[in-house]
Amino acid sequence: MVIFDNLPLYFEAFLQTLSLLLLATLFALPLGVVIAAMRISPVGSLRATATVYTEILRNTPLVLVFIFCFVVLPILGVVLPFMFSAVLALTLYTAPFFAEAIRSGVNGVPVGQAEAARSVGMTFGQTVTLVVLPQAIRSVVPPLINVMIALTKNTSIAGGFFIFELFGSGRRLINANGDQVIAVLVGVAIFYLLITIPLGQLADALERRVAIKR
Amino acid sequence: MTSVLYDVPGPRARVRARITSWVTGLIVVGALAYAALTLGEKGMWDASRWMIFNDPLVWAALLRGLLVVVQSALVATVLALLLGMVFSLLRMSSHRIIRIPTTVVLEFFRGMPVLLMMLFILLAFPGISAFWAVVSALAVYNGAIIGEALRSGVVALPKGQREAGLAIGMRPLQTRLQIEFPQAFRNMLPIIVAQIVVLTKDTALGYIVGAVSLIREGELLGEFLGRQQYFFPIFLVMVAMYLALNLTISTVARQLAKRRGVKVASVVQDESLSALT
């Protein structure tokens, strides 16, 4: 079986996919928090900036973001290592989705909580950091995990741009084993499912727990 | 804009907010202007680079690419809606023999990247064109997602709907198709439309598996005319085309929803999230 013969190769690629996922999450999550904070802030220009950024990135295909980082930036004289470019593209694209997940979580906190905080004299900053966010985080985690699942699937695009991750490994193995295309690709799919299905179940379980507590 | 997060601002707070707004606004505008100037120093706004758009052949190539995007998105959308209905019917079947395998298969479809599915279809069915590989992968993947949306829409309906249908002697399938689906579809319209935007974006993946489409045309133009010189303007035009297309879909859908009186607000959070995959 081609899958078992090439397990080391699969593992190498699997680790690359995982590191793309983790690195992109590491950078996109803080950026997402910043964008979310900008979108709920009382400062108009911050709100507008964040909204425009979100709308543009959400309506542009990720492939074009990749082309920006891998082709357009070098034309402009900014040459980056491939891995760096891939993480950059995934970060730029994913951050607005993290932001939207956080924002909907913040909106999900009962109005009375913020009102109570306001009425005891807390400022905007205090209300958000001491009262709203600690509660929002609980209901925000499941949607954040869903964004990570989508991100996992999106890392496959890096395989089309010189990165050797799962999708790229599938292509390489097909070149070597043209007669076992289906087996090779099912193997790749299984490794993706190894990430996405546990994450999905984690999200479901957390969602159920949060639902009971409310 | 009012929010529970802060008081209706008084005069001093208003002044402070306005000042912060102006300052940060100036910083943002300044950063953008700096970026634009830097691009200008590299000659990216030089008329010579943009003259190519006087050539009708350039537009012909780009519009040809855009047409392929629209075509594949349209065909895939129709197929995905049909598949979504079939998937959700099977998923809700009262026979365990149908329901459980469908659940597993749908989970499989939703858990792997569309790109992988495109490659799979392209290689597993010899003789299929890249266009159809892209379209069918998009149809299957988005069909699985739309199917799940439809199912949760049906589950959310009051039980009486189905019972009433059965009580007046409609068959179970008839009840599903004529009573439950129309309502579920309407309630889930925002999610389904968001998924169609995703589908349109994902047509761009065809570039990686070698299908002819907007990005491929743009790249060929770049190779032909000189990438270093002309790819930047071509890239900006491609981004603008995708933005225009997707924003149009969203706007039309919003208008449609408004006219139909669909309650958009209740599902809006999900819409903003589901535009990702």
When CB atoms are compared, the residue of A45, A59, A128 closest to B21 is: A45
- CATH 3.40.50.300 at A2-213, yes or no: no
Residue linked to tokens 């079939």: B86
Query: How does pLDDT run across B148-199, given as a tens digit for each residue?
Result: 889 988 988 888 888 999 999 988 888 988 889 888 888 888 888 888 888 9
- pLDDT of A39 > 80? The answer is yes
Statement to judge: residues B35 and B117 lie in one domain? no
Nearest to B124 among A60, A128, A181 (CB): A181
Is the domain of B33 the same as that of B76? Answer: no
Q: Read off the pLDDT of each residue in B29-33 and give the average, rounded to a whole number.
A: 90
Between CA A165 and CA A188 the distance in angstroms is 10
A8-13 mean pLDDT: 86
Q: Does B202 touch chain A (CB under 8 A)?
A: yes
Longest dimension (CA), chain A: 71
**What pLDDT is attached to residue B35?**
87
The type of residue at A26 is L
pLDDT at B61: 86
Q: Is residue B61 included in any domain, yes or no?
A: yes
In whole angstroms, what is the distance from residue A189 CA to residue B237 CA?
Answer: 35
Q: Which residues contact A200 (CB under 8 A, 6 or more apart)?
A: A145, A146, A149, B111
Same domain? For B38 and B56 the reply is no
Is B60 found in the same domain as B31?
Answer: no
Residues B69 and B174 reside in one and the same domain? yes
Q: Is the same domain home to B130 and B248?
A: yes
Give pLDDT, residue B226. Answer: 78
A58 in contact with chain B, both atoms CB, cutoff 8 A: yes
Q: Which residues of B touch A65 (CB under 8 A)?
A: none
Query: Does B207 reside within a domain?
Result: yes
B216 and B159 in a single domain? The answer is yes
**Closest listed residue to residue B121, CA positions, set B130, B133, B110:** B133
Nearest to A55 by CA among B239, B243, B2, B187: B243
Q: How confident is the model at residue B79 (pLDDT cuts 50, 70, 90)?
A: very high
Task: Give pLDDT tens digits for A15-35.
Answer: 999 999 999 999 999 999 899
Assigned domain for B1 exists: no
CATH code for the domain in which residue B247 is found:
1.10.3720.10
Which pLDDT band holds residue A65 (cuts at 50, 70, 90)? very high
Q: Percentage of chain A surpassing pLDDT 90? A: 25
Residue B262 sits in which domain range?
A: 49-274
> B53: how many CB neighbours lie within 10 A of its CB?
14
Domain annotation covers residue B164? yes
Inform me whether the pLDDT recorded for B268 exceeds 50: no
Q: Give the range among A58-72, B5-19, B115-129 with minimum mean pLDDT.
A: B5-19
DSSP H helical segments within chain A, as ranges?
A: 2-5, 7-40, 44-58, 62-67, 73-75, 82-108, 111-119, 124-126, 133-154, 166-176, 181-213
Instruction: State the average pLDDT over residues B247-269.
Output: 65
What are B71's two structure tokens? 């075509």
Spell out which residues of chain B touch residue A42, defining contact as CB-CB under 8 Å: 1, 3, 5-6, 9, 17
- Per-residue confidence at B132, pLDDT binned at 50, 70, 90? very high
**Which chain B residues are Cβ-neighbours of A103 within 8 angstroms?**
272
Q: What is the predicted pLDDT for the residue at A43?
A: 79
**Among B36, B248, B116, which residue's Cα sits nearest to residue A171?**
B116
Give the integer Cα–Cα distance in Å for A195 and A200. Answer: 9
B-chain residue closest to A151, CA distance: B277
If one counts the domains in chain B, the total is 2
pLDDT band at B5 (very low <50, low <70, confident <90, very high): low
- Selection from A59, A28, A104 nearest residue B270 by Cα: A104
Q: Averaged over A74-85, what is the pLDDT? A: 87
The yes-or-no verdict on residue B265 having pLDDT over 60 is no
Q: How confident is residue A128, by pLDDT bands cut at 50, 70 and 90?
A: confident
Chain B interface disruption, residue of A41, A45, A68, A166, most B CBs within 10 A: A45
- Considering only CB atoms, B235 lies closest to which of A67, A149, A182, namely A67
**Chain A residues within 8 A of B111 when measuring between CB atoms:** 149, 153, 189, 192-193, 196-197, 200
Give the separation between CA B26 and CA B28, rounded to whole angstroms.
5
Residue B75 has pLDDT above 90, yes or no: yes
- Which residues on B lie below 8 Å from A123 (Cβ)? 6
Q: Look-up: residue for tokens 């000042």?
A: B19
In this structure, is residue B168 part of a structural domain?
A: yes
B103 contacts chain A (CB < 8 A) = no
Is residue B192 included in any domain, yes or no?
yes
CA dist A142 and B143 (Å) reads 23
Residue A123: closest C-alpha in chain B:
B6
Q: Do B17 and A42 touch (CB under 8 A)?
A: yes
**Burial group, residue B152, by CB count within 10 angstroms (0-12, 13-18, 19+):** middle
Does residue B3 lie in a domain region?
A: no
B29 and B102 together in one domain: no
State the amino acid at position B186 in one-letter form: R
Average pLDDT over residues B130-151: 92
Q: Cβ–Cβ contacts within 10 Å for residue A178, how many?
A: 10
Angstrom distance (rounded) from CA B175 to CA B164 = 9
Answer yes or no: are the C-beta atoms of A184 and A170 closer than 8 Å. Answer: yes
* Cross-chain residue pair A64–B120, CB shorter than 8 Å: no
Q: How far is residue A175's CA from residue A99's CA, in Å, rounded to a whole number? A: 40
Least trusted range by pLDDT, from A146-155, B148-157, B249-258 = B249-258
**pTM, 2 dp:** 0.85
In sequence order, what DSSP letters do the residues of B142-194 get, joined into one string?
Answer: HHHHHHHHHHHHHHHS-HHHHHHHHHTT--HHHHIIIIIHHHHHHHTHHHHHH
Question: What is the pLDDT, as a whole number, of residue B4?
Answer: 62
Measure A93 CA to nearest chain B CA, in Å.
9
- Per-domain residue ranges for chain A? 2-213
Please give the share of chain B, as a percent, with pLDDT higher than 70: 90
Q: Would you call B27 helix, strand, or coil by DSSP?
A: helix
The pLDDT of residue B233: 86
Place of tokens 């895939």: B76
Q: What is the reported pLDDT for B277? A: 46
Residue B271 has pLDDT above 70, yes or no: no
Question: Which tokens is A111 given?
Answer: 């109005």
d(CA A109, CA A90): 29
Q: Region A170-174: what's the mean pLDDT?
A: 85
Q: Give the model confidence (pLDDT) of A186-210 as tens digits.
A: 888 889 998 888 988 888 888 787 7
Tell me if B197 and A43 make a contact (CB, 8 A cut-off): no
Query: Mean pLDDT for chain B?
Result: 83
Whether the CB-CB separation of B138 and B80 falls below 8 Å is answered with: yes
**Angle CA B136–B142–B147, to nearest 5:** 120
| Tokens linked to A187 | 């193997």
Closest chain B residue to A116 measured between Cα atoms?
B4
Q: How confident is the model at residue B264 (pLDDT cuts 50, 70, 90)?
A: very low
- Tell whether B18 and B146 lie within a shared domain: no
By CB atoms closer than 10 A (0-12, 13-18, 19+), residue B11 is exposed
Distance in Å from the first CA to the final CA of chain A: 50
Q: Are residues B83 and B219 in the same domain?
A: yes
How far apart CA B204 and CA B219 sit, in angstroms, is 13
Nearest CA in chain A to B207: A63
- Residues within 8 A of B (CB atoms), A 107-166 only: 107-108, 111, 114-115, 118, 123-124, 127-128, 132, 143, 146-147, 149-150, 153-154, 156-157, 159-160
**Following CA atoms A82, B199, B84, A101 in sequence, which dihedral angle do they give, to the nearest 10 degrees?**
70
- Which of A23-27, A102-106, B20-24, B223-227 has the highest mean predicted lDDT (pLDDT)? A23-27
Q: How confident is the model at residue B273 (pLDDT cuts 50, 70, 90)?
A: very low
> Do B61 and B27 share a structural domain?
no
Give me the mean pLDDT over the B224-236 stretch: 82
User: Is the pLDDT reported for residue A140 higher than 90?
Assistant: no
| Residue B162, domain member (yes or no) | yes
Give me the mean pLDDT over the B127-137 stretch.
90
Q: Which of residues 171-200 of A touch B (CB under 8 A)?
A: 171, 174, 181-182, 185, 188-189, 192-193, 196-197, 200
Whole-number pLDDT of residue B1: 39
Question: Which chain B residues touch A97 with a CB distance below 8 Å?
Answer: 273, 275-276
Question: Structure tokens of B258?
Answer: 């408004």
Residues B103, B178 share a domain: yes
> Do the chains contact at B44 and A56, CB–CB below 8 Å?
no
A192 Cα to chain B: minimum distance (Å): 6
Residue in A61, A115, A185 nearest the CB of B120? A185
Residue A25 at interface with chain B, using a CB cutoff of 8 Å: no
Contact list in B for residue A107 (CB cut-off 8 A) is 269
